[in-house]
Amino acid sequence: MLREGLIYLSENRLARGFVTHAPGARTMARRFVAGEHLEEGVDVARNLNRAGMKVTLDCLGESVRNRDEARAAADVYIRLIRRIVDEQLDANVSLKMTQMGQDIDEAFLHENLKRVLDLAASNDMFVRFDMESSAYTQRTLDFFRRLWGEGYRNIGVVIQSYLKRSAADIGQLNAEGVRVRLCKGAYKEPASVAFQDKADVDANYVTLMQMLLKDGNYPGIATHDEKMIQATKEYARNIGKSVKDFEFQMLYGVRRDLQQQLVAQGYNVRIYVPFGEAWYPYLMRRMAERPANLFFIINSVLKESPLRFLAGK
């Protein structure tokens, strides 16, 4: 019921108009999205750098099926890369292949994406390809390897621990020297391809994290789960890895207390900072894909709120 309601709200134009103009809606969204414009993303990145954190900037958008829109998305990334360079920010960028034309055709995707990758490479900047639903996993990895085979080494991918195929994928990516960002995954997937129980997802996350720390190339351990963070710290110490051999990655606005703690402990911390006009459908679809995300975010906000002490938490 909740999932269907969120999907309806994400697609309903009247609901979008109401929510985006409702008092406090944008303020709440700004907790998790830097703003609608590139400059707002850059401002947030600058402030996070001052706080000792690295940044990944992401212009929101996905499932683009119009060539002009896909080209416009690439143009935003070109401007973004130039601003990062001009500002000398400790930041890179993250994008979705469907945003660049993956659902149009691969020749167009290659042409459009190449403009972004060439500029990034010329400025020694890393580009991460986000992973979407399991319907895109193999397609994304195949196209990534095409680019890797063309000599691009400033690129990396995301692997999701709830997919049953991920151990095999990470084994191959480690052998190829690819930088991997490990996350749990937030899409609703069938039991045929994904673990359904949280305990199984978590157990696989630990297994994959260990594979990445042992044999990977500067992995990004993306989690807000304190148990996963502690498991990562302990395994890194056990195998003699330095705190600078990997980085923790977290979402902008989620568990800011943990972000600050990790920085104080000397760990590399990178914050994923989304921006763009698509903030409303982005947030609503994330909630619809897995309604547990809604409660997770609420819980994360409460955990770092001073009010938790009043409740004896």
User: Which of these, 257, 237, 272, lies nearest to 303 by C-alpha position?
Assistant: 257
* Residue type (1 letter), 114: K
Count Cβ atoms below 10 Å from residue 146 Cβ, excluding itself. Answer: 13
Catalytic residues: 130, 181
**Token pair of 133 as six digits:** 């639903």
Question: 288 with 13: CB under 8 angstroms?
Answer: no
Round to whole Å and give the CA distance between 188 and 175.
Answer: 29
Give exposure, 31-62, as e/b (b: 16+ Cβ within 10 Å): ebbbbbebebbbbbbeebbeeebbbbbbbbbb
**Token pair of 82 as six digits:** 């130039």
Question: 194 with 164: CB under 8 angstroms?
Answer: yes
